Every structure is written in C-alpha cells, then in structure tokens.
C-alpha cells in the first residue's frame, strides 16, 4: 500500500461525515471536488479496488479518458505536506493540476520500456553471464584442470557471495552520491576486467581471488538498478518490470548454454582448455555493454539531454506526465535528489526499522530449498554420465520452466493483490519435489532424477516480487535505498548458506543435504504465514487509531507530523 488519500476536507462550512476505511486502509473520496466545483481540472476514475479477477473480462478503457489518478496533491493540506522540495531534480515538471489521457500515458510507458527497461535487462544479462558461466566451465573439466575439489568450488561460491554481500551497502551509498547513471556503468567495466582475467587462472588461489573480486565489484548492482527503475515506474508497474528484468537472467542461462556449447569446443586451441576462452569472450561482451551504458543511462526522467543527445528522449509534455504520475502514485519519491548522499544517521535510522525485518528474513531463507540443486545442476548431469554438450543443453528446459513460473508469479501478485500468496508458492512447489529427491537411490533412472531436478530448478522465482515488496513497504527514497541493499545482503547471506549444504562426503545423492532442505522449506512456509499476520496486524492497528481521530485531528496530523516513510499513520503496508 501507499499513503491514504485524505478524506474530502471542507474549509467553508461544517465537518464532513467520516469515510469508511477498508482493511488495508484505502480512504475512498471524491478528491476531484475537494475545493469546490471548477477549482481544478477533473480527475480520472480510480482503478477498481481489490485484485483483478482473471476469469472476468475486464472492461476496455477509453484511451481518451483522463488517466490522472487521485492523490494527496488534490487538497491544500496534502499538497503542502508532500510538495516536492526545490532540490528535487524533477521539481520543475511537477504540476498538481496536470492532466493527461490513458492514450498519452500508455505511449509514455511504452517509450520508457523501450529506452530504460530493455537496457536495464541487457545490463543484468551481462552481470549474470559473468557470474554464472562458472557453471558451464564445470562441464569442461574446470575443477580437474585447476586441481580443485567440490569443496574448493563451494568455497569459491561462498567468497563470491560474501564479497557481494559486503559490497551491497557501500555500492548503494556511492550510487546515491554520484548517481546510478555513472556508478552502474563503472561497476560493469570494473568487473568485466576481472571476468576477462579468469582466462589466466592458474589454480586454487587465483580462482578464489577472482571469485572474491568479481562478487565485490558486482555487489550493489541489483539494488542500484531497482532504485533507478523506481524513478520511472509506479508501484503497480515495478513488479512486472522487475519480473522481466529477472527474465534476462533466465535468457542468459539459455543463451549462455548455447554460447558455452560452441565456445567450449575451442578446447585444445593454442593448447588451452575451452573454459578459458569462455571467460575471455563473455567478459569482453560485458565490457562493451558497460562502456555503452555511460551513454544510454540518463540520470532521471527530465535529464535525458546530453551533448551527444541534444534533444533528449522525451518532450516537455512527456516529462510532465512521467513526473506527475509517479509522484501521484508515491509522493515519497521526491524526498531526495538523485545525487544526494546518505548520512550515517540516515543509515542507522533505516536499519533499525523493525517493521522491515520480516522481509529481510524472508530474503535470507526463501531461496535455500532450491539453491543447492540449482548450483549443482550441471555437475549432477555430468555425474549421471552426460557429456559436456549434453549437460549444457539439458539445463535449458529448467530455465524455460523458470521463466514461465516467474512471470506467472509476478502477474499473480497483482491479480490476487497479495504478496504472501504469490511468494509462498515457491516453498509449496519445492517441498514435494525435495521429498521425491530424498527418496532416490543409486538404482533410480537418470532420466527420472533429471526430471525431478529440472522441476526443482524451474521453481517460481519470486525474488522480483519480494524486491518490489520491500521497495513498496519502505516508502521513502532514503529508506528504499538502504532497504534494497539490506534485503539483497540477506539474500546473498542465504546463498552463502545454501552453497555449503551439498558436501563432498554426501555425494552423489546428497541425502543429508536434501533432508536439511526439506526441513528449511517447512520452516519457510511458517514464516510466510507469520509475515501475513504481522503486516495485517500493523494495518488494523493503524486503522483503529486513524478512525478514532476526529477530522480536525487528522488534518492537524497531516500538517504537523514529523513521522517519515512507513512510520506515517496514513501509510499501510502491502502483504
């Protein structure tokens, strides 16, 4: 949820009657008539409350109808309480009286998708290519060539995740100071150099060093991009865009498998194994994307003009629509300039927000049940007797299934309007499959084993939903900046845990590890249910307090409150 829309306020006569507050706190009001007829242009009709129903045909919207939605800016109290400060980079395009049609808004969103979202996906594709190609290298006798064991491989993954985790918050602080349009391309260029250097790996020490450096330089990239995308999209649009953002991750698995199949055939060229050329070529591709990103990432919606792009990407009218539709959806996005740094006090304030910690805990544990089977997919296929080419190609079906389940979960989250219901499905998906995996023995058909592992690794990837959920419940730029990093730090900590569940003394069936995964999966189901009731309780408690106040007390609160972000009494949490 976001800020409650203030009730119809009267300054001319008597007090209005109380408006009803629904379970999650949305106050319904005819905000277009707040200051009397003719005082402001009319607003568009608000979307229907509650989740959409996929079995009902939705009425087709009139594209020439007003799309501008009601917001806190439609009454004098809310306008002054949430007016963007002069330092906000888009303040010159803010206009509470701006109106536009659905046709205009759809055209602008489509343009943002083409200019901003697609390039973000390509950058993430490059990141995942450089961090995941170690899996393809494994099919080309990578460990044997360097004289390493499975435990060395686990340690390398642990160091990668640990350095990734360590870099999350510092990277966000740098990005907030210099701007993601500068920092993200710089990150990409730096880590691509490390990725290329893996061509010259000589043994365990150089392997561990490059994995640590690669993780450290990639850390913070994902929350940096999520914050960047939030400048352009509303809270309803962001989860779907993030789903497609992570689709690029899956596309990398497919494209990477085909690339690896070809590149690894270079084994023997100049007397070198194929995996060396894999690191060299794919690292070079990332460097090219990183250099291009300096020119293809504008700082913000109204800052697309540059010496090499004198006319910019958007007209003045389009900039007005972009800025006002995002601020009407979430007024907190004008809290800070996009190059305004964070102080230690701000960081501490965000970290001690206990209301965000259930989401951090879910970030820690949600991927553990499916992580080890996913990490060991190609190694498991080799152990089953498949050759290098077969192992890479047999990993593709799980990727395709994962893409389908990811998009299904993302759209489901908006259809049913429930974050818990659309994220708990990962655990419900994994539990029966892990139980089946635990029952397998050495006599089990390799194709039965492959089918079950493929379904496990094709799990509904609900991480984008939880990232958007964290962003939505933060409700301020400074809180969103920190919470995105902290959440991702917990996700990386979870990856460190699951990177060490499958041990060398437990292979090839990993009975002990699978038993642990079953237990963790059951625990996670309980945690998701607990999170649902936690946020439901907080919202109901705020509803009771808000309803107990008189109209004058609510107005006084909006005018004088020092509460910020999700501490405001007119904010409701999504769950």
Q: What tokens does 19 get? A: 């408006």
Predicted confidence (pLDDT) per residue in 426-456, tens digit: 999 999 999 999 998 888 887 888 889 899 9
Q: What tokens does 174 get? A: 């740098």
Instruction: Output the pLDDT for position 436.
Output: 92
Instruction: Output the pLDDT for position 60.
Output: 65
- Residue 227's closest CA among 216, 217, 238? 238
Higher-confidence position of 270 and 303: 303
- For the ranges 261-275, 283-297, 399-413, 548-562, the one whose mean pLDDT is highest: 283-297
- 61-75, 184-198, 308-322: least confident range: 61-75
Instruction: Output the pLDDT for position 302.
Output: 93
3-state secondary structure of 19: coil
- Residue 447's closest CA among 373, 393, 403, 386? 386
Q: What are the two backbone dihedrals, phi and then psi, of residue 136, each rounded to the nearest 5 degrees?
A: -70, -35
The DSSP bridge partners found for residue 27 are 21
- pLDDT band for 6, please (50, 70, 90 cuts): very low
Using the predicted structure, report yes or no on whether residue 277 has a pLDDT greater than 80: yes
Predicted confidence (pLDDT) per residue in 130-146, tens digit: 988 888 888 888 888 89
Q: What are the two backbone dihedrals, phi and then psi, of residue 314, each rounded to the nearest 5 degrees?
A: -125, 145
Using the predicted structure, report yes or no on whether residue 39 has a pLDDT greater than 90: no
Residue 440: Cβ within 10 Å count: 17
Q: Work out the angle between the directed axes of helices 180-197 and 150-178 (0-180°, nearest 10).
A: 150
Name the average pLDDT for the chain. 83
Using the predicted structure, report yes or no on whether residue 10 has a pLDDT greater than 50: no
Instruction: Output the pLDDT for position 47.
Output: 58
- pLDDT band for 507, please (50, 70, 90 cuts): confident
Distances (CA, A) of 539 to 2, 71, 118, 355, 522: 12, 20, 36, 11, 27
Measured CA to CA, the distance from residue 571 to residue 565 in angstroms comes to 8
- pLDDT band for 533, please (50, 70, 90 cuts): very high
Backbone angle region of 47, left / alpha / beta, with phi > 0 → left and psi within -120 to 50 → alpha: beta
Contact present, 81 and 556 (Cβ < 8 Å): no
Residue 150: Cβ within 10 Å count: 17
The DSSP bridge partners found for residue 66 are 101
- pLDDT band for 3, please (50, 70, 90 cuts): low
CA 253 to chain centre: 18
pLDDT (mean) for 95-118: 94
Q: What tokens does 330 get? A: 């979430």
- pLDDT band for 46, please (50, 70, 90 cuts): low
Query: For the domain 109-302+334-536, what is the CATH code?
Result: 1.20.1250.20
CA 98 to chain centre: 30
Residues in CB range of 386: below 8 A, 6 or more apart: 394
- For the ranges 343-352, 361-370, 402-411, 448-457, the one whose mean pLDDT is highest: 361-370
Higher-confidence position of 346 and 514: 514
Measured CA to CA, the distance from residue 455 to residue 437 in angstroms comes to 11
Contact present, 418 and 535 (Cβ < 8 Å): no
pLDDT (mean) for 229-249: 88
Measured CA to CA, the distance from residue 338 to residue 91 in angstroms comes to 12
Instruction: Output the pLDDT for position 191.
Output: 95
Whether the CA torsion 123, 126, 132, 134 is positive or negative: it is negative
Verify cis geometry, omega within 30 degrees of 0, for the bond prior to 508: yes
- Residue 146's closest CA among 277, 276, 278, 281? 276
Instruction: Output the pLDDT for position 200.
Output: 93
Measured CA to CA, the distance from residue 461 to residue 403 in angstroms comes to 8
Instruction: Output the pLDDT for position 296.
Output: 93
Query: What is the DSSP annotation of 311-376?
Result: T-SS-HHHHHHHHHHHHHH-GGGGSS-TT----HHHHHHHHT-GGGHHHHHHHHHTTTTTHHHHHT
Indicate the DSSP class of residue 28: P
- Residue 47's closest CA among 28, 33, 32? 28
The DSSP bridge partners found for residue 21 are 27
Query: What is the DSSP annotation of 478-529?
Result: HHHHHHHHHHHHHHHHHHHHHTTTS-GGGTTTTHHHHHHHHHHHHHHHHHHH
- pLDDT band for 325, please (50, 70, 90 cuts): very high
Q: What are the two backbone dihedrals, phi and then psi, of residue 40, each rounded to the nearest 5 degrees?
A: -150, 155
- pLDDT band for 222, please (50, 70, 90 cuts): confident
Residue spans of the domains in the chain: they are 109-302+334-536
Measured CA to CA, the distance from residue 77 to residue 552 in angstroms comes to 12
Measured CA to CA, the distance from residue 29 to residue 202 in angstroms comes to 68
Indicate the DSSP class of residue 115: I
Contact present, 327 and 334 (Cβ < 8 Å): yes
3-state secondary structure of 66: strand
- pLDDT band for 539, please (50, 70, 90 cuts): very high
């Amino acid at each position: 949820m976001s800020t409650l829309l203030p009730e119809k306020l009267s300054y001319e006569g008597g007090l209005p009657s109380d408006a009803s507050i629904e379970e999650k706190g949305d106050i319904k009001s005819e905000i277009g008539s707040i200051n009397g007829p003719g005082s402001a242009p009319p607003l568009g009709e608000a979307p229907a409350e509650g989740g959409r129903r996929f079995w009902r045909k939705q009425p087709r919207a009139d594209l020439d109808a007003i799309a501008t939605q009601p917001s806190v800016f439609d009454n004098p109290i809310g306008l002054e309480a949430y007016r963007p400060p002069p330092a906000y980079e888009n303040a010159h395009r803010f206009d509470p009286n701006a109106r536009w049609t659905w046709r205009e808004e759809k055209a602008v969103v489509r343009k943002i998708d083409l200019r901003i979202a697609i390039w973000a996906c390509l950058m993430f594709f490059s990141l995942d290519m450089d961090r995941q190609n170690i899996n393809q290298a494994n099919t080309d006798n990578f460990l044997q060539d360097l004289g390493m064991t499975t435990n060395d491989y686990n340690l390398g993954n642990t160091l990668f995740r640990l350095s990734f985790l360590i870099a999350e918050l510092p990277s966000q602080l740098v990005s907030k100071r210099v701007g993601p349009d500068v920092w993200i391309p710089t990150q990409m260029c730096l880590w691509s150099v490390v990725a290329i250097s893996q061509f010259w790996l000589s043994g365990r020490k150089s392997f561990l060093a490059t994995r640590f450096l690669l993780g450290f330089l990639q850390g913070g990239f994902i929350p940096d991009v999520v914050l960047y995308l939030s400048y352009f999209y509303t809270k309803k649009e962001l989860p779907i865009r993030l789903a497609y953002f992570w689709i690029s991750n899956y596309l990398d698995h497919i494209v990477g498998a085909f690339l690896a199949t070809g590149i690894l055939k270079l084994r023997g060229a100049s007397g070198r194994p194929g995996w060396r050329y894999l690191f060299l070529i794919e690292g070079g591709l990332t460097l090219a994307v990183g250099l291009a990103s300096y020119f293809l990432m504008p700082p913000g919606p109204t800052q697309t003009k540059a010496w090499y792009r004198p006319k910019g990407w958007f007209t003045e009218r389009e900039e007005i629509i972009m800025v006002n539709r995002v601020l009407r959806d979430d007024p907190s996005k004008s809290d800070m300039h996009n190059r305004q740094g964070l102080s230690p006090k701000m960081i501490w304030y965000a970290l001690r927000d206990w209301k965000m910690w259930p989401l951090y805990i879910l970030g820690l544990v949600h991927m553990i049940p499916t992580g080890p089977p996913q990490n060991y997919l190609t190694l498991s296929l080799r152990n089953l007797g498949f050759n290098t080419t077969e192992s890479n190609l047999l990993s593709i079906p799980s990727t395709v299934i994962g893409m389908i389940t990811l998009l299904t979960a993302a759209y489901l989250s908006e259809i049913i309007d429930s974050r818990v219901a659309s994220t708990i499905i990962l655990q419900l998906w994994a539990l029966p499959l892990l139980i089946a995996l635990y029952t397998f023995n050495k006599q089990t058909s390799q194709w039965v084993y492959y089918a079950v592992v493929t379904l496990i690794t094709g799990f509904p990837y609900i991480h984008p939903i939880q990232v958007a959920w964290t962003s939505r419940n933060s409700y301020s730029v400074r809180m969103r900046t920190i919470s995105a990093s902290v959440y991702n730090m917990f996700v990386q900590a979870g990856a460190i845990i699951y990177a060490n569940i499958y041990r060398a003394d437990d292979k090839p069936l990993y009975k002990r590890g699978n038993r642990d995964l079953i237990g963790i999966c059951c625990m996670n189901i309980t945690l998701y249910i607990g999170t649902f009731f936690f946020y439901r309780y907080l919202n109901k408690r705020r509803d009771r307090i808000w309803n107990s106040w008189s109209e004058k007390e609510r107005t006084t609160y909006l005018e004088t409150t020092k509460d910020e972000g999700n501490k405001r009494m007119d904010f409701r949490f999504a769950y």
